[in-house]
Amino acid sequence: MFKALDPLLHQQLRLSIVSLLASVESADFNFLLEKTEATKGNLSVQISKLKDAEYLEVNKSFKNNYPHTTCKLTQKGRKAFEAYVEAIQEYLKPNN
């Protein structure tokens, strides 16, 4: 009846992150922080989880002497996002 929803994406902050990254080449920590309005701790944790699942590629470097983290959606992440979008649509239209 209903397809299972990828638990990694069926969470508000992680879904926000992936949704944002779906439309840009890459984004840095502060961009995601501002757009999602999450706390830094929460954002850090959720980025890590997405990275561990290989949904994100995370790059750490230095920019103007400060640490600088950028994130980019992987193919695997993009596929998962597309599948999630497909799957949840079924739940959203009353007609089952």
Closest distance between a copy of itself and the C-beta of residue 13, in Å? 9
Q: Which does 41 bind (CB under 5 to 8 A by kind): a copy of itself, DNA, none?
A: DNA
Please report, as a single letter, which amino acid is at residue 93: K
Q: Which does 91 bind (CB under 5 to 8 A by kind): DNA, a copy of itself, none?
A: a copy of itself
* Residue 20 CB partners (closer than 8 Å, separation 6+): 27, 31, 32, 35, 36
Closest distance between a copy of itself and the C-beta of residue 61, in Å? 25
Contact 79, 9 (CB under 8 A): no
Please measure the distance between the N-terminal and C-terminal CA atoms of the chain and give it in whole angstroms: 8
Interface segment toward DNA; rule CB under 7 A; list 18-26, 58-66, 74-82, 88-96? 58-66
